Amino acid sequence: MPGPAKISPQNPLRQLFSLSRMRPCGDRARRTLAVAGIAHALHDGYTDLIFVLLPIWQAEFALGYGVLALLRGLYAGAMATLQVPSGWLAERLDGRVILGLGTALSALGYALAGCSGGLFGLCAALVVSGAGASTQHPIASAAVSRAYGQASRGPLGTYNFSGDLGKAAIPALTSLLLTWMPWRQSLWLLALLGVAVAIVVALLMPPIERARPRKARQERAGGGRGGFPLLLAIGVLDTGVRMGLLTFLPFLLKSKGASLPTVGTALALVFLGGAAGKFACGWIGARVGVLPTVLLTEGGTAACILAILALPLIPLLVLLPLLGLMLNGTSSVLYGTVPELTPPDRTERAFALFYTGTIGSGAVSPVLYGILGDAVGVNWATAATAMSALAIFPLAFALRPHIAPERKDGQAG
């Protein structure tokens, strides 16, 4: 690959011309990241929007807690199970078209929810919306990965961070809309927002590059087999630790004397730290490497969890942003490593498998830790999440031989 253009001071016109020729490639990558980030923010916001709507649907349709959990599960289940087919489709068709259609389908689901007159309509609408959401993670992640090539870890961290922005913004926007209008009209407006994002994807996202299979096999970064299953296992454990701890954290805070508003503030501190961790650790991983970053974040997570068990309330609250940073930081490093362990022409499928595994872990792990909490108590179950974080260490060392060494410029060598 040619290096940066070297232009002599005596030839400024040639310098401007050369830079103008170099700029479109960088602009194309940045535009891919921007559009992928917007899509990620919308879809993650749609996912967490359900939590705002559940109390409204309970009052409107006289639903029990089990049925409310079913509604959330239908959306998450459709999103998780259809990610692999979405990645498979994107390998054969234009991924940009599928992402745009999936975004429009997700918006249609919420529009149908606004028209529903009972439980069956809500169930069908959420399945439709979850099916549309299944396209976002594998296709948008692969688009960013291909746009930036070997320097994609940091941009993937930024892409990952954009999802947290959507989780904060769209539920907050919905809460504001609900003070002005009924929930059905609010959902129709949010559906229009989804249609607008689908149009942005169709018009502004550059074509997603496609790699040739033979060249893809030759350029596989890790070289050895077994790397991706190890990475997936780390992702599953990491997500389990995060969701298990968040299940117990409100009860730990209450046991230390926290009021309900204080618990809400504490969770906000964790989520703010988590958003910062997703943004920062992707770039840190690009600079210092996967293994040191994973060891730092998982070791820091275990230390913070044990400190939570020992500290009184006020120091605990001060620690929570750091806990959030460590809890979420590993995920950006892992997402950025997926392209290194798979051929470029299978990147969508690899991201689909990875997100399916981590989303599934997020659904199952709170149940397993909850059963453990019933058996041994909240404190010991919380300590078990710290032990699970430390269990990632041997997996990270086993993964190291499969990852190409990093150069000082942050790119894989």
Report the candidate in 284, 266, 36 with the shortest Cα–Cα distance to residue 154: 284
Return all residues near 106 (Cβ < 8 A) that are at least 6 apart: 42, 43, 46, 128, 129, 130, 131, 132, 133, 194
Domains 28-210 and 219-402 share a fold: yes
| Number of C-beta neighbours around residue 365 at 10 A | 22
71 pLDDT more than 90: no
- Please tell me the pTM assigned to this model: 0.71
DSSP string across 191-247: HHHHHHHHHHHHHHSPPPP---HHHHHHT-SS-SSSHHHHHHHHHHHHHHHHHHHHH
- CATH code of 219-402, in short, is 1.20.1250.20
Report the greatest alpha carbon distance in the chain. 78
28-210 placed in CATH 1.20.1250.20 = yes
- Residue 406, beta-bridge partner list: 412
Nearest 5°: the CA angle 344, 350, 356 is 160
Where do runs of H (alpha helix) occur along 311-346? 313-337
Per-residue model confidence (pLDDT) at position 107: 96
Boundaries of every domain in the chain:
28-210, 219-402
399 pLDDT more than 80: yes
Across 136-140, 254-258, 298-302, 347-351, least confident range: 347-351
Across 36-40, 116-120, 132-136, 304-308, least confident range: 116-120
- Residue 412, beta-bridge partner list: 406
